[in-house]
Amino acid sequence: MATMPSGHGRATILDVARAAQVSRQTVSNALKHPERVRPDTLERVHAEIDRLDYRPSTAATSLRGQRAGAVGMELTGLGAHALSDALAPFLVSLTIAAPEHDCHIVTFGSDGPDPTLQRYREMWRSRLVDAFVIMDTHHGDPRPAWLLERDIPFASFGRVWDDPSFTSWADVDGRNGVAGAVDHLVSQGYSRIGYLGWPQGSLVGDERRNGWAEAVTRHGQTHQGPEGNTIQDLAKAMAAAEPLVDDVGIGGAIACASDVLALGVTQVLLRRGLVPGRDVGVVGFDGSETARTHDLTSVAQPYRSIASQLLTQVHNQLTTQRRPDHGLMFEPTLLPRASTLRQSSAPHPQEKS
C-alpha cells in the first residue's frame, strides 16, 4: 500500500480524486449520489476509497451541512462520580444506536449540581451538538423549559412532569410492568403479594404502585395486601422491608419499585435465614446490574428501543422542525431469575452473561 498522498495521515477527498483520476466532485457523487456516476468510474473510485481508507471529514461535513451530527447526553453524577442505575445501560444503548442514526454521542457533565444549564448552553452555542437527550426529569427540572425557550431540539427518556404538552418522549409502562410481575408471582404460586415502593408523589413511582394494586385486586387479593415505601437507599429499604416480610410470610412475595428496593428485601430475607425465591418471592424493577448480580427477578427496561426511538425523534425534529404528535410508551420485559423460583432453593445459581 502506498503512503498517504497528502500529509501523513488520513486521506482527503482530493487524494481519492487524484488517485482515481477524477475530480473531487465525482468522488463526492460516488458517495452521495452513486446514480450520477458511470458504473466503471464508480468502481474505480470505490477501489481507491477502499485502498486509501477514506471517509469524509466530520468537521468539514459539519461545517458544510450546518449540523454537528452529534447528540449531547448529560452524565448526571450522583454525589461522587457515579451514574444512576438506569443511566449507564441507557448511555450504552444510545451510543450503540447512534451510528444507525448518522450521529454520535457527546457526553458532558459538571461536578456540582449547580451550573447544569451552563453546560447545556456551552454545548449548544459552540455548535458541538444539534440536540440533546435528557432523562430523569423531575418536578421543577429547569431543563425542558430552558431548552424549549431556545428552540433547542431534544427528546426525553421519561415523560416531562411539568409540561404534559411536551410530546417528544419515550417511556416505559411501569404499570403494566409491575402488573406483569405480579402475574408472574401468582403463576409461580406465591400467595400473599406485597409491595415496596417509593414515597407517593412521583409519576413513575405512583404508576408502578398502581400496577401492583390493580393486578393484586384482579387476582382477588383482599385489601390489596401489605405495602410500604421508602427512598432509593439500601439501608432504608431493609428497614422498610422488615414489616412487609413479616406480613407476607413464607410463601408470600414482594414486588418492588426498583432493584435497590428489591435488594433490600433480599438482604432482610438473608439475614433471617430465608432463601429468596424458595421462601419469599422478590421482584425488582429496572433490569439493572444489581439485579443480575444478586440473581433477582426484575422488570427490565427496553433501553435499546427507547434509545433508538429518541434518536429518531431528535432526527425528525432536526429535519422537519416539528415534534411528534405524542410520546411513545414501551413495554418492559420480565426477567425471571432465582428470586421468583419456588421449586429449587438454588443457593448459588449461575447465569450466562
| Contacts with its own copies, residue ranges (CB under 8 A) | 10, 53-60, 62-63, 68, 70, 75, 77-83, 88-93, 95-96, 98-99, 104-111, 121-122, 124-128, 234-236, 238-239, 260, 263, 267, 270-271, 273, 289-290, 292-295, 303-304, 348-350, 352-353
Name the nearest CA neighbour of 311 among 74, 100, 67, 59: 100
What residue spans of 126-277 are helical by DSSP H? 143-149, 174-187, 203-218, 234-248, 259-271
Residue 123, C-beta contacts closer than 8 angstroms, at least 6 positions apart = 72, 106, 108, 129, 132
What residue spans of 200-255 are helical by DSSP H? 203-218, 234-248
Binding partner at 139 among its own copies, DNA, none, C-beta below 5 to 8 Å by kind: none
Question: What is the spatial distance between Cα 71 and Cα 123, in angstroms, rounded to a whole number?
Answer: 10
Q: CB-wise, 213 or 257, nearer to its own copies?
A: 257
**CA dihedral sign of residues 88, 94, 96, 98:** negative
Q: How far is the CB of 125 from DNA (least distance, A)?
A: 9
Binding partner at 145 among its own copies, DNA, none, C-beta below 5 to 8 Å by kind: none
Binding partner at 28 among its own copies, DNA, none, C-beta below 5 to 8 Å by kind: DNA
Q: CB-wise, 73 or 193, nearer to its own copies?
A: 73
Q: How far is the CB of 24 from DNA (least distance, A)?
A: 4
Binding partner at 77 among its own copies, DNA, none, C-beta below 5 to 8 Å by kind: its own copies
**φ and ψ at 347, to 5 degrees?**
-70, -35
Q: CB-wise, 9 or 164, nearer to its own copies?
A: 9
The cell numbers describing 238, all together, are 431493609
Q: CB-wise, 88 or 203, nearer to its own copies?
A: 88
Q: How far is the CB of 127 from its own copies (least distance, A)?
A: 5
Binding partner at 324 among its own copies, DNA, none, C-beta below 5 to 8 Å by kind: none
Q: How far is the CB of 40 from DNA (least distance, A)?
A: 7
Q: CB-wise, 43 or 331, nearer to DNA?
A: 43
Q: CB-wise, 25 or 58, nearer to its own copies?
A: 58
**φ and ψ at 146, to 5 degrees?**
-60, -45
Q: How far is the CB of 213 from its own copies (least distance, A)?
A: 28
Q: How far is CA 176 from CA 181, 260, 293, in A?
A: 8, 20, 25
Q: Quick one: how far is CA 15 from the chain centroid?
A: 41
Q: CB-wise, 50 or 289, nearer to DNA?
A: 50
Q: How far is CA 270 from CA 85, 277, 285, 292, 294, in A?
A: 23, 11, 20, 17, 12
Residues making contact with DNA (CB under 7 A): 6-7, 12-14, 22-26, 28-29, 31-33, 36-38, 41-42, 54-57, 59-61, 63-66
103: DSSP letter: -
Binding partner at 231 among DNA, its own copies, none, C-beta below 5 to 8 Å by kind: none
Name the nearest CA neighbour of 67 among 314, 322, 324, 323: 314
- H or E, element range at 169: strand 169-172
Binding partner at 230 among its own copies, DNA, none, C-beta below 5 to 8 Å by kind: none
Q: How far is the CB of 32 from DNA (least distance, A)?
A: 5
Binding partner at 202 among its own copies, DNA, none, C-beta below 5 to 8 Å by kind: none
CA triplet 334, 240, 290: central angle to 5 degrees?
40
Q: CB-wise, 127 or 219, nearer to its own copies?
A: 127
Residue 7, C-beta contacts closer than 8 angstroms, at least 6 positions apart = none
Q: How far is the CB of 161 from its own copies (least distance, A)?
A: 22
